[in-house]
Structure 1
């Protein structure tokens, strides 16, 4: 694995450690302008990640940073896209289904993604250029290379059911309508699989679900790492407005609706 990717993995783990330092306390919750929760964990994780990645000299887009204007960003050939705590609602509910997301985007396309689950220490890593994605449980007692001796290669497989990923916090009428239409088209039972945060991408990449429709607002930092992991195993993340794979470092960081599916 390239050194730049190793550093991103270590940054995700460092962010996760900061999150757990708050998660295991009686933390306070503030609210942003859009009424979504913000905790000290978001801020501390972001600081830890930025500290790890800053020496690499690659610009960053992060949910918790004051991001550059598009006039400044549009000439970037590459950048990190970071969500230091994805699934803040899951964090507040204390169900463990929250993640740290870091992606490296080159020419607007994700080439690498890491999703780290602090509570379970699970790591999902996508190397798009190598067409490989991994899942492992991080052991801080081992050095970096030893953690990769026995890893699971992700490989989406067919199922006797059509398993549709639904959000715990964002199931809406559009998504329900998509599911109902799917039921009329499929010759096999349709099953709903629920998961929080970017773990929904991981379900499809791991072969535990078949399709992930997202017909609710997301930002670039919510999806870039998950898209890298999915594309590394030949899944598609299709922008429902352009009908093309989603691209990043756009002028508007708000995503269109999208669909994760097999090619």
Structure 2
């Protein structure tokens, strides 16, 4: 599984290169749900599907090639990917988009890769091994190989890096809600806006404390960053079930949730949310 983690990370890095060829363009179409679709989404998707099939025998469910529930409901393992998470961020050219690759085992992610090409940020995690990031400067200067990734990873422990008495809450650039704003005000939280699955990764690396999401997400949006947060000591809690998010559901849509960094587990907001 460790080798599979690093190989899927290399696939994400290459998919990011492909997407960057289209970065700065304004052309897109709208899908049935009115979300935007770019050529970068499609070409990143094609590359990931082709190359994941070469490294493991698992079926693949992607935002751009959805695996029907009847095909995946009895699968023990399958890949769950978002070939370009944050297409609105991509079009807006704010850098906050990612390539997400996760491996699902019995309704939970056990392997995750999140790559933000514009920021040279790569995050990886494997259940039981931990969550890791890579120095953005080294990543930019290097031509990463399997061995390079193994030697240069930095462990994420979820410990808070910013010494501020006011808690920091991640919020979406494009999908915030009135409920979210009221939540931030209720708990006197300082908002930090960023895109895609980077919000959860920000919790994993100790630069924010909480991420309330009271708007729609899909399973492929969250799976990769979910295991990264989990392996850093944090958790994403479903607002309805009060349990960690579950995957491989009949509906690909997630319930609303709150993601908690390691430092917030057991604290006041966490306790309130579980009541």
Could you state the TM-score of these two structures normalised by the residue count of structure 1? Answer: 0.92
The answer as to whether partners of 2:101 and 2:112 remain within 8 angstroms in 1 is yes
Query: In the alignment, does 2:186 pair up with 1:181?
Result: yes
Which residue in 2 is equivalent to 1:231? 230
| Residues 17 and 197 (structure 1), Cα distance of their counterparts in 2 relative to 1, 3 Å cut | same
SS in 1 for 2:114: strand
Equivalents in 1 of 2:14, 2:242: separation in Å?
36
The answer as to whether partners of 1:175 and 1:215 remain within 8 angstroms in 2 is yes
The answer as to whether partners of 1:112 and 1:228 remain within 8 angstroms in 2 is yes
Query: In the alignment, does 2:63 pair up with 1:63?
Result: yes
Equivalents in 1 of 2:91, 2:33: separation in Å?
16
Instruction: After superposition, give the CA deviation of every residue in 1:48-106 in whole Å (9 maximum; x if it has no partner).
Output: 101110121111110000x2322221110011110000010010011111100001111
The answer as to whether partners of 1:135 and 1:154 remain within 8 angstroms in 2 is no
- How far residue 142 of structure 1 moved from its aligned partner, in angstroms, is 4.2
SS in 2 for 1:22: coil
Instruction: After superposition, give the CA deviation of every residue in 1:118-139 in whole Å (9 maximum; x if it has no partner).
Output: 1222101112222333334335
The answer as to whether partners of 2:5 and 2:125 remain within 8 angstroms in 1 is no
Equivalents in 1 of 2:132, 2:111: separation in Å?
10
- How far residue 27 of structure 1 moved from its aligned partner, in angstroms, is 4.6
The answer as to whether partners of 1:98 and 1:197 remain within 8 angstroms in 2 is yes
| Residues 246 and 142 (structure 1), Cα distance of their counterparts in 2 relative to 1, 3 Å cut | closer
Query: In the alignment, does 2:167 pair up with 1:162?
Result: yes
Which residue in 2 is equivalent to 1:97? 96
The answer as to whether partners of 1:125 and 1:135 remain within 8 angstroms in 2 is no
Deviates more, 1:244-253 or 1:116-125: 116-125
| Residues 171 and 27 (structure 1), Cα distance of their counterparts in 2 relative to 1, 3 Å cut | closer
Which residue in 1 is equivalent to 2:251? 252
- How far residue 12 of structure 1 moved from its aligned partner, in angstroms, is 0.8
Which residue in 2 is equivalent to 1:122? 121
SS in 2 for 1:254: coil
Which residue in 2 is equivalent to 1:19? 19
SS in 2 for 1:18: helix
Q: CA RMSD in A?
A: 1.6
Equivalents in 1 of 2:204, 2:30: separation in Å?
32
Report how many residues are paired: 255
Q: Which one of the candidate residues 143, 146, 154 is aligned to 1:144?
A: 146
The answer for unaligned runs of 5 or more in structure 2 is: 266-275
The answer for unaligned runs of 5 or more in structure 1 is: 184-189
| Residues 177 and 253 (structure 1), Cα distance of their counterparts in 2 relative to 1, 3 Å cut | same
Could you state the TM-score of these two structures normalised by the residue count of structure 2? Answer: 0.88
Equivalents in 2 of 1:129, 1:205: separation in Å?
15
- How far residue 3 of structure 1 moved from its aligned partner, in angstroms, is 2.0
